[in-house]
Amino acid sequence: MQKNPNPAGVEQAAAIKKVLVLCTGNSCRSQIAEGYLRYFGGDKAGIYSAGVEMHGVNPNAIATMKEDGIDISSHTSNHIDEYRKIDFDFVITVCDHAKERCPIFPLATIRFHHNFRDPAKATGTDEAVEQQFRQVRQQIKDYCRKFVSDNL
């Protein structure tokens, strides 16, 4: 007779994966990605975002996410150093600058990279800037949906 490794049918909670999204200033792209990863990932992961610098959360990022039904208005801009003691399962860099300046993480950390255009650098009319934010938002949304599907 085989011994039941899970007596009384007690469910064992799977370890929650920890995901860090890293960008230059933690103001737009990483904030948008954090919002979508939380949305698509639900309780499957702990989601964090940070920057190699801190620029504050961009009001246009908040507005463009609100258009899509996701509230990131309570997010804060955080520096990577705040998370030095967390063993992340995944680190996603969302710009080349952050990838180049990304600190060393434990070998077990799986890194992903996608260079999204910085919507904070958009110029032109208010409508043109909003459109660029929407385009980048959609790209990040698609990336995050696939990331969650493939990895969480």
What are the tens digits of pLDDT across the range 76-121?
A: 999 999 998 888 999 999 998 888 877 667 677 899 999 999 999 9
DSSP of 75-122: ----BGGGGTT---SEEEE-SHHHHHHPPP--TTPEEEE-----GGG-
Structural domains in the chain (count): 1
Selecting among 22, 23, 91, 120, the annotated active-site residue is 23
Active-site residue, 28 included: no
Q: CATH number, domain at 99?
A: 3.40.50.2300
The answer as to whether 96 is a domain residue is yes
Chain-centre distance for alpha carbon 15? 19
The answer as to whether 5 is a domain residue is no
Active-site residue, 102 included: yes
Active-site residue, 144 included: no
**Taking Cα atoms as reference points, which of 48, 49, 46 lies closest to residue 16?**
46
Tell me the average pLDDT across 35-64.
95
The answer as to whether 88 is a domain residue is yes
Supply the mean pLDDT for the chain. 89
